Structure 1
């Protein structure tokens, strides 16, 4: 992936800048020495970028040149022996539909082989890891249990443990790290959209999450990965962080990322969340919500070749005025269920996998209030918080 977005800005030598959040990928001095003279593989996609800054003294101050460069290009520019790329759901370029089968291929820019870690090959095979001395993991997570990059992390850690290959996770901020909320997954509902007993919003970076996978011995047979987390700088769980690149096709902006944990439940119902529009995960609706004024019509676009209600006018609710949430919101799900004429068709089987429990669907059908449903999560959430505390890197 070619570097882009170069900017050149003269900075006066006496200027003092407030500390900016630096990702693990930008914590260069912490990981480059670990890769020197090693055969390296990398798990990444379009989110694996870093801002690389060079400075040059000149008359009257300092000339600072910054550029957003992809990790793959950066490692090659530093003469790291990079041999292959592993890509998660949505592919290396991040343009594929959710759930779409991704084929192995070759990166046009670098010529490096790309191995898909989605579909039938979610876990790197022994052969795919053969010859590697170390694997680097750099994916931008959004902090929701059903976002599959943490499941990819699990399988990568497991494969590395089985093949005695060290794994280096370049940590990135979690834009939803300030919230710990939702039902905790029950083991009988484990799937690729939820592999661990954590709530929907778990309030950890992907590096912290990797430490938890190891520490709680969630890998097969309790094996543990030789894991190194390269931390972010100037970051806390309450930091506001705007993603420089959309993490997947249907999370186009900060608003969608904030709403995603609450609206993703609709993926297990007959309600659309705006896939096939340019306001994905910022609206919800269906053709039978006829009493609402807002409307949208899904159609094929990047990341949604055949969206729910393709070509059919939907009526619903516009949430584009919301920018930040402080909890997992259930009110939209409850409202949609209550105004659905034929409630027998509202849920599909995928809902239980997303919820991680059968209880949420049962509670909604029983007419429980949001307060009663939330109260039922309290015991498990408190237990999880004690587990979480053991693995935190940041305040």
Structure 2
């Protein structure tokens, strides 16, 4: 009996272990199976960070370094985006150049003095490999880094190989206006794509390259190594892949789902979104909200948010500007079933919360009370000031005009279709 119990326990442990049997093979695994054919005999540069791993959590840096030590090619340089190649830099902190201690390979920063590899940084590099896990939202800086890498490589005449990875939001949801308003292009809105783009990094790279979206319409000699086993409708849990935190406040794949639902409103600095507490991007709260139960009830009654649920929550953040202050508000539960989520616009959830707060507490104005710099970042993340303007002009209500404005164009969706791989 004792052996039987231990056997059952072992089976349960294996079934929930962090490294499951993967149903999806990522680009790095396919490249390895192909014997690194597109890198053979070349001096290779690698753009990656801790999310660049295979299904057994072996770093792409170490995979390429091992192959290089067997004489297949030379690993000549590493390039670090936000957080650095080994994840040892905080969000927003400049990444330092230097030498990778494990491999002895030189490291160049792409998040500091420059976000684009210069000719000097690419000197001697014959092919540049990109392998970073994205989270499917335009304002997350990894896809901006990919575009800048492609631009720098094109300028230096260095071909680019993108190792594809799943989009944790799936490949079907597309939300937001693709047009970036003049003066609002930035590293958090670098390219004219919707806020939720519904593409893998490989598909997005193909579109940036093929549609002349790179600076000056440059082309970079792009090769995408596709995945095997991924389908557009798959959620992350179906991929059978381990999740490595893409940044400190996205510790799980579920965090990627909530980021577009609250990340924009968090830029205001007037509402707390769970960053600094145990629920990053899962809450909207403030010290002045006096009726959390009523707010949850009102939100749960909105037909536009059908499938999304809210519960009242009270908590004290552990760090950040609001450390130790009691917050009152709602915890958000986005729908997990695809059918429930079909009509829900994740990116308009924060505006519906602002709408209900305006009705309940008209004396507080989170949009108008935000500091000028925070409002500027809010608009840059959205790629436009018009969404905020329309909302305020409508008396802080989400109108059909706003929903229509915040929609990708038919022309964009047609162009996007040309570059889908899966």
Normalising by structure 1, report the TM-score: 0.84
1:354 maps to what in 2?
381
2:74 and 2:315 mapped to 1: Cα distance? 49
Question: Are the structure 2 counterparts of residues 244 and 268 from structure 1 closer, same or farther at C-alpha, using a change threshold of 3 Å?
Answer: closer
1:155 and 1:248 mapped to 2: Cα distance? 20
1:159 to 135, 149, 152: 152
1:369 to 381, 385, 398: 398
Structure holding more strand per residue = 1
Q: Is the 8 A contact 1:96 1:249 kept in 2?
A: no
1:190 equivalent in alignment to 2:219? no
1:299 maps to what in 2?
318
Q: Is the 8 A contact 2:99 2:105 kept in 1?
A: yes
Shift of residue 184 of structure 1? 2.3
1:311 and 1:185 mapped to 2: Cα distance? 40
1:337 and 1:84 mapped to 2: Cα distance? 50
Secondary structure of 1:82's aligned partner = strand
Q: Is the 8 A contact 2:98 2:107 kept in 1?
A: yes
Q: How many residues align?
A: 356
2:364 to 342, 350, 356: 342
Alignment of 1:178-257 (within 5 A): 178-188=172-182, 189-242=184-237, 244-257=243-256
Secondary structure of 2:138's aligned partner = coil
Shift of residue 26 of structure 1? 1.0
1:95 and 1:125 mapped to 2: Cα distance? 23
Shift of residue 336 of structure 1? 3.1
**Can you give the 5+ residue segments of structure 1 that lack an aligned partner in the other structure?**
1-6, 8-17, 52-66, 301-306
2:102 to 97, 105, 109: 109
Q: Is the 8 A contact 1:181 1:381 kept in 2?
A: no
1:24 equivalent in alignment to 2:51? no
1:254 and 1:370 mapped to 2: Cα distance? 31
Shift of residue 273 of structure 1? 1.5
Shift of residue 83 of structure 1? 1.9
Secondary structure of 2:415's aligned partner = helix
Shift of residue 131 of structure 1? 0.8
Q: What does the per-residue CA deviation read over 1:152-211, in whole Å, with 9 as the maximum and x for residues that have no partner?
A: 011100111111111100000101122011222324121100112211111110111111
Q: CA RMSD in A?
A: 2.2
**Can you give the 5+ residue segments of structure 2 that lack an aligned partner in the other structure?**
1-9, 11-20, 293-311
1:34 maps to what in 2?
38
2:219 and 2:103 mapped to 1: Cα distance? 33
1:288 and 1:336 mapped to 2: Cα distance? 14
Question: Are the structure 2 counterparts of residues 288 and 248 from structure 1 closer, same or farther at C-alpha, using a change threshold of 3 Å?
Answer: same
Bigger Cα displacement from structure 2, 133-142 vs 102-111: 102-111
1:314 equivalent in alignment to 2:314? no
Q: Is the 8 A contact 1:143 1:203 kept in 2?
A: yes
Shift of residue 85 of structure 1? 1.1
Question: Are the structure 2 counterparts of residues 112 and 370 from structure 1 closer, same or farther at C-alpha, using a change threshold of 3 Å?
Answer: farther
Question: Are the structure 2 counterparts of residues 267 and 163 from structure 1 closer, same or farther at C-alpha, using a change threshold of 3 Å?
Answer: same
Q: What does the per-residue CA deviation read over 1:32-85, in whole Å, with 9 as the maximum and x for residues that have no partner?
A: 01112211110000000013xxxxxxxxxxxxxxx4311111112223411221
Shift of residue 370 of structure 1? 5.0
Shift of residue 332 of structure 1? 3.4
Q: Is the 8 A contact 1:30 1:230 kept in 2?
A: no
Normalising by structure 2, report the TM-score: 0.79
Q: Is the 8 A contact 2:243 2:252 kept in 1?
A: no
1:60 maps to what in 2?
none
Shift of residue 261 of structure 1? 1.1
Q: Is the 8 A contact 2:243 2:253 kept in 1?
A: no
Bigger Cα displacement from structure 2, 109-118 vs 36-45: 109-118
1:82 maps to what in 2?
75
Q: Is the 8 A contact 1:132 1:165 kept in 2?
A: yes
